[in-house]
Chain A
Amino acid sequence: MKNCFKKLSIAQKQTLWAYVFLFVPLVFYLVIRIYPAFNAFYLSLTNWDIVSVEKDMVFFENYFSLSEDPLFWKTLGNTFKYVIYGLPINLVLSFLIAYNLNKLKWGLGIYRTLYFIPFMTSLVAVSWVWRWLYQPLPLGFFNNLLSLFGIPEQPFLMAPSQALPSILAPTIWVQMGFQVIIFLAGLKAIPQSVYEAADIDGANNRQKLFRVTIPLLRPTIIFLVITGTIKYLRIFTQVYSMTYQGNGGPLNSTKPLVLYIYNTAFQRFDMGYASAMTVVLFLIILVITLFQLKVLNKDD
């Protein structure tokens, strides 16, 4: 055996080593990642309920049902609301904070710590803390604060019109830490000489921001837009933790697609229907990511 190995050429040895290294990982990726993806698609063509042995093929019936399911459209709409309301605010706030932190000459470490702390903590814990802040009088902090200014008590998580933004607030708050760090790294990577050149050309602060800083931050912005969109599209934990019995209420006004998938698969055990929704989620993420990559990269 050992002699056989010695007779191999260097290139053959390399190939052999490569496959030794890659064998277990390849099995993992094929069995735990690729196969389940196809399996999800297959299940979406059945009406399987996890108990039955037989999986009846219903082909695209689940998808037709989805297109007529008002709750599906509602949750899809909610999911997009999270992305469209949440992400831009998140990015702008994070950029403003990073931009100003970047000006600081001392104490940056302490400041950065303060802004980063929320990102480090468990989302379940964060959600419950905020759920408590939103409580009605006399308990809730926000309502007490409002009453100090003579503003009437707000329902927050209890009203369909306010619940979704109320869940977005802690989401933005948590994500900000991450985005500030990434923006700061991007800002620090811009060489000082670029700004000096802009000074010589007589650029004012506004021009420097829009003509120098933001264009040079483009890779950072692309990264944050794409990762942020995916994160917001997959929103689940906050809604599960902040709504009554994790049901995405009131009146499904906060229920995102992933929570509907969870209810369908793991509470109603309608695996086929839930799988169809996961396929839709996958396609949405795929299309949006490819689209964003194309649009944001177009000048390069």
Chain B
Amino acid sequence: MTKSKLNKTNPLVYIIMGIGGLLMIFPFVWMVATSFKQPWDVYNLSIIPTQPTLANYFRLLATSNFPRWFFNSFVVSIAVTMSVLFFDSLVGYTLCKFKFKYKNIIFLLILSTMMIPTEMLVIPWYVMSKGLGWANSYWGIMFPGIMTGFGTFLMRQFFQSVPDDLLDSGRIDGLNEFQIWWKIAMPLVKPAISALAIFTFLGNWNAFLWPLIVTSTNSLYTLPVGLAFFSGEFQTEWEMVMTGASVATIPVLIVFLIFQKQIVRGIALTGLKG
């Protein structure tokens, strides 16, 4: 009897959760719908545009630098993600599997950087970027994030599950330490790597404060910064603002829908281990 009670789910739960879910995506549906509307149709509260048009998208391409901002965000996010994956897993591995002097001090030092909020560092970073000529360049946008304490900590946790015997067998086979890490240890922590990749990519793709500070020419804006300026400029023409927001949102949503399983698993995994 208890079993049957456990297995029964009230149909009302499906309905209420479904309504809640639709409310969650409603703003996006309306955003996309409005991006296809004529200016006079924006006041019409119907989800379906009276006369659907692509004119807003053409105007967006003609009056702004969206493709360029998109490209900038893409290059910066990919480069930072690759760097983070390489360094955080290398450092996490070293701090997990090697025995050497000052290991714990180095670990604590890296861990302690997680406690420093970005906001405290942006002023010195800005001064540094100006002094070294990094301001207003891809490198200027990227350099603060090429390694993270969080990722290092996460990877160190995951490398603990890699058995030492396996690494020793690699040593017997004559692999050097770099090859052991790359060829033996790395393939065993793939789920952690994909989780870290997702977090890093998303974080950089959506990063706003630092790119806003460090970039000053339109052609170097990242997508969020470009969108902010674009929206400010067009703020009374809501169909244009919604077109900009759609362009900034939809590609990410498509990527999400493709990699949904991995993304959700990665985030859940991080929550449990972190």
Residues of A participating in the B interface, judged by any CB pair closer than 8 Å: 11, 13-15, 17-19, 21-22, 24-26, 28-29, 32-37, 39-40, 43, 50, 97, 100-101, 103-105, 107, 109-118, 120-126, 128-130, 132-133, 135, 138-139, 141, 144, 173, 176-178, 181-182, 184-186, 189, 195-196, 199, 219-220, 223-224, 230, 234, 236-237, 240-241, 245-246, 258, 261-262, 265-266, 271, 274-275, 278-279, 281-282, 285-286, 289
Q: Using CB atoms, name the residue of chain B closest to A110.
A: B21
- Contacts A29-B113, A234-B117 given; does A112 touch B253 at CB 8 Å: no
List chain B residues, Cβ under 8 A from A121. Answer: 28, 206, 248-249, 252-253
Q: Using CB atoms, name the residue of chain A closest to B120.
A: A278
B62 within 8 A of A: no
Smallest beta-carbon distance B233→chain A, Å: 12
Our pick among A32, A114, A279 for the contact of B22 (Cβ within 8 Å) is A114
Q: Is the interface of B mostly helix, strand, loop or mixed?
A: helix
B172 within 8 A of A: no
- Asked if A117 and B117 make an inter-chain contact with CB atoms under 8 angstroms apart, the answer reads no
- Contacts A100-B13, A117-B28, A121-B249 given; does A181 touch B208 at CB 8 Å: no
List chain B residues, Cβ under 8 A from A135. Answer: 238
B43 within 8 A of A: yes
Residues of B participating in the A interface, judged by any CB pair closer than 8 Å: 2, 6-7, 9-10, 13-14, 16-18, 20-22, 24-25, 27-28, 30-31, 34, 42-43, 45, 87, 90-91, 93-94, 98-101, 103, 106, 109-110, 113, 115-128, 143-144, 146-147, 149, 176-178, 181, 202, 205-206, 208-209, 213, 223-225, 227-228, 231-232, 238, 241-242, 244-245, 248-249, 252-253, 256-257, 260, 264, 267-269, 271-272, 274
- Asked if B2 and A196 make an inter-chain contact with CB atoms under 8 angstroms apart, the answer reads yes
Our pick among B17, B91, B98, B122 for the contact of A104 (Cβ within 8 Å) is B17
- Contacts A120-B252, A125-B245, A128-B245 given; does A182 touch B271 at CB 8 Å: yes
Our pick among A33, A122, A181, A281 for the contact of B119 (Cβ within 8 Å) is A281
List chain B residues, Cβ under 8 A from A282. Answer: 115-117, 120
Q: Using CB atoms, name the residue of chain B closest to A241.
A: B228
Smallest beta-carbon distance A199→chain B, Å: 5
List chain A residues, Cβ under 8 A from B45. Answer: 141, 144
- Asked if B6 and A195 make an inter-chain contact with CB atoms under 8 angstroms apart, the answer reads yes
Besides A21-B94, A50-B127, A282-B117, 5 other A-B contacts (C-beta < 8 A): A107-B14, A118-B27, A141-B45, A241-B228, A278-B123
- Asked if A116 and B117 make an inter-chain contact with CB atoms under 8 angstroms apart, the answer reads no
Select the residue from A32, A109, A122, A271 with max chain B CB neighbours within 10 A: A122
List chain A residues, Cβ under 8 A from B22. Answer: 114
- Asked if A101 and B25 make an inter-chain contact with CB atoms under 8 angstroms apart, the answer reads no
Q: Using CB atoms, name the residue of chain B closest to A128.
A: B231
List chain A residues, Cβ under 8 A from B115. Answer: 282, 285-286, 289
- Asked if A17 and B177 make an inter-chain contact with CB atoms under 8 angstroms apart, the answer reads yes
A34 to B111, CA, bound (A): 11
- Asked if B241 and A40 make an inter-chain contact with CB atoms under 8 angstroms apart, the answer reads no
- Asked if A14 and B100 make an inter-chain contact with CB atoms under 8 angstroms apart, the answer reads yes
- Asked if B87 and A25 make an inter-chain contact with CB atoms under 8 angstroms apart, the answer reads yes
- Asked if A230 and B117 make an inter-chain contact with CB atoms under 8 angstroms apart, the answer reads yes
Our pick among B124, B249, B268, B271 for the contact of A122 (Cβ within 8 Å) is B249
Nearest 9 pairs between A and B by C-beta? A114-B21, A185-B268, A36-B124, A182-B271, A125-B245, A278-B120, A39-B124, A15-B100, A17-B177
